[in-house]
Amino acid sequence: MTSGKPAPISRRERPAKPALTREGIVEAALEVMRAEGLGRVTMRRLAQQLDTGAASLYVYVRNTAELHALMLDELLAGLDLSPVTAEGNWRDRLVTVLWSYVRVLTEHPELAQSALVTRPSGPGYLNLVDGLLALLDAGVSADRASWAVDLLLHFATSTAAEQGTRQRAIDAGEEEDRLAETIASTSAARYPHIAALGLDLLSGPGPDRLTWGFNVLISGILQTPRPAPDTAPGSA
Amino acid sequence: MTSGKPAPISRRERPAKPALTREGIVEAALEVMRAEGLGRVTMRRLAQQLDTGAASLYVYVRNTAELHALMLDELLAGLDLSPVTAEGNWRDRLVTVLWSYVRVLTEHPELAQSALVTRPSGPGYLNLVDGLLALLDAGVSADRASWAVDLLLHFATSTAAEQGTRQRAIDAGEEEDRLAETIASTSAARYPHIAALGLDLLSGPGPDRLTWGFNVLISGILQTPRPAPDTAPGSA
DNA sequence: ACCTGAACACCGTTCAAGT
DNA sequence: ACCTGAACACCGTTCAAGT
C-alpha cells in the first residue's frame, strides 16, 4: 500500500520474505482479511502467509485480540478528517465524519465487532476522537462532549457491527425471512403492537436510518445535560 | 470443580439422563454458561454435560449461533414487563424496562455480543419489543416508534456487550490503564482536545451514563421525525 | 427417528530447543 | 534476540453406521 519494499533479505530470489515486523504483520493481516474475511485471520493462517510459524508472531503481537485492534487502528488512520477544520455547519460536518467512520467499519464489519469488545487506543482512534471533540466543541460544553463522543462512536460502531455481520451471517436473509414469517404469523392478540406495524419494523438499517440515528443522538445530546455528580467526584 | 462426580455410568442409579429436548439443551447450556462462561458453552462441552455426543445436539439445534439465540431468548422471557401497563410517566416506565433488559444482558455479557450479530426472534424478544412499542405509543407516532425501538434496544444491547465483556477481557483494567497512560503521555499538541479532557474521557459507562444515554435517545427521538421516503416506498 | 463414534479440518498459545 | 517444531488442549460440523 505504501511503497515497494526493495527486497530486504532475499538470499537470491524469493518474493521477499519481508522480515517480521509489527507493521508487516498487521499489513499481512489486513490483506488476508480483505481476501478471505476476518474469520480467516488466524495466527496460523497469518503465519503461513508470512512464511513462518505461528509461534513467531507472538514476538510482535500479544494475542489475537491485540492483532485485531492493531488492524482496526490502521484502518482508522486512513480516515478523512478534513471536515473537522472545514467551513460550514458543525452538525453536518460531524455527521460527515461519523459517516466516514461507519463506512470503513461496514467494509470490515467483523472488525467493528471486535472494536466493541476491545476499545481501540491507537493513534488512528485518538485522532478520530480528537476530531470529534473539536467538532462538538462548537455545540456543547466539554464535559458533555466527553460523554457525547463516546455515545456517538458507540452507536456508529455497533451499527456497523450489526449490519455488516448480518449480511454475511446465516446465509444472508434466511434470518430476516424467519423474523418476517414470525411477524406475519403472529397472532395480533399476542403481540398487538408488532402486528400493527408489520414489516415496517424490519425495514432495516438503511442509510436513512443511520442518518436519522445520528440526528436523534445529536439533538438529544444538545438537550440533555450531564447529571451533577452525586457522590464524591473523585471516588475510585 | 463443582462437586464430586458420583459414579457416572451406573446402569441402575444415575441422576436421570433427561432425554434430549430442545428445552433441555438450552437449559443445560445456560447452566454451563453461568458456571463457566459462554466461552465454555461449546457443542462438545455441552454434550458432555448432557452425557451424549456432540453430534446428537445437531438434531435439535442448527448450530452454535442458534443455540446462543435460544439461550438469550430464554433469559429475555424472564424479564419483568409490568411497567408497561403500570401507572405513571411513560418515559420513566420506558427507562425502567430498558434498564431491566440491560441488567439481564450485563449479567451475561457474552450473550449480548451475540445478540448484536444474530437478531433475536423468539417469543421473549417479541414480548419485549411489543412492550416497548406500547410504551412509545404514548409519545410518538407508530412509524417513528418502529425505528425508535430498534435504536433503543440497539443502544442497550451494545452497551451491555461492551461493558460486560470489557470487565473480563484482557485481565480487567490493563486495557484501561494503557489508554489512560496513552492519554496522560499524549502530547497536548497532537491531541489537544483529548488532553484537555484528560481522564474524564474514560470515566466509563457507569449507571449515570447509561441513564443519560437513554434520556438522550428519548429526547432525540421525540424531536426527530422520520425522513419522508424519497424513492418509491415499495422498492425492494 | 434418533443417536453415536470417528473423522475432517481446523483453532490459540506455550515452550524447549535451536540459531 | 529471534525463530521454530512440536505439543497441549481444545474447537464446529458431517457422516456412515448403528439401534
pLDDT recorded at residue B6: 38
Closest nucleotide to residue A48 (Cα to C1')?
D4
> Which residues of chain B, if any, have pLDDT below 50?
1-15, 169-172, 232-236
Identify the residue whose cell numbers are 481501540.
A120
Nearest CA in chain A to B66: A170
Banded pLDDT at A218 (limits 50, 70, 90): very high
Write out the DSSP string of chain B. --S----S--SS--S------HHHHHHHHHHHHHHH-GGG--HHHHHHHTTS-HHHHTTT-S-HHHHHHHHHHHHHTT---GGGGSSS-HHHHHHHHHHHHHHHHHHSHHHHHHHHHS---SHHHHHHHHHHHHHHTTTS-HHHHHHHHHHHHHHHHHHHHHHHHHHHTTTTTHHHHHHHHHHHHS-TTTSHHHHHHGGGGGS---HHHHHHHHHHHHHHHHH-PPPPP-S-TT--
| A10–chain B nearest CA distance, Å | 38
pLDDT surpasses 50 at A235: no
User: Distance between CA atoms of A183 and A194, rounded to whole angstroms?
Assistant: 7
3-state secondary structure of A49: helix
Average pLDDT of chain A is 83
Banded pLDDT at A203 (limits 50, 70, 90): low
- What 3 state SS string does B188-228 have? CCCCHHHHHHHHHHHCCCCHHHHHHHHHHHHHHHHHCCCCC
Is B143's Cβ below 8 Å from some Cβ in A? yes
pLDDT recorded at residue A117: 78
Instruction: Give burial (CB, 10 Å; 0-12/13-18/19+) of A69.
Output: buried
User: Distance between CA atoms of A105 and A213, rounded to whole angstroms?
Assistant: 17
H or E stretch including B123? Answer: helix B123-136
pLDDT recorded at residue B80: 97
C-alpha cell recorded at residue A84: 473537522
Please name the member of B126, B154, B186 whose beta carbon is closest to the beta carbon of A162. Answer: B154
User: Distance between CA atoms of A85 and A181, rounded to whole angstroms?
Assistant: 48
Q: Which domains does chain A have, with CATH numbers?
A: 18-61 (1.10.10.60), 78-225 (1.10.357.10)
pLDDT recorded at residue B97: 98
The pTM assigned to this predicted structure is: 0.85
Is strand C in 7 Å reach of the CB of B9? no
3-state secondary structure of A153: helix
Identify the residue whose cell numbers are 452454535.
B64
* Residue range B67-79, pLDDT digits in tens: 999 999 999 999 9
Banded pLDDT at A1 (limits 50, 70, 90): very low
* B97 Cβ neighbours under 8 A, 6+ residues apart: B79, B81, B83, B84, B128, B131, B132, B135
* Residue range A12-26, pLDDT digits in tens: 334 456 789 999 999
* Residue range B82-119, pLDDT digits in tens: 999 999 999 999 999 999 999 999 988 889 888 887 77
- DSSP 8-state assignment for residue A203: S
pLDDT recorded at residue B174: 57
Q: Do A121 and B197 touch (CB under 8 A)?
A: no
Helix A22-36 / helix A64-77 crossing angle, nearest 10 deg? 90
| A141–chain B nearest CA distance, Å | 11
Which of the residues A64, A94, A121 would you substitute to probe the B interface, choosing the one with the greatest number of B C-beta atoms within 10 Å?
A121
Q: Do A170 and B130 touch (CB under 8 A)?
A: no
Residue of A79 and B170 predicted with greater confidence = A79
Banded pLDDT at A3 (limits 50, 70, 90): very low
pLDDT recorded at residue B96: 97
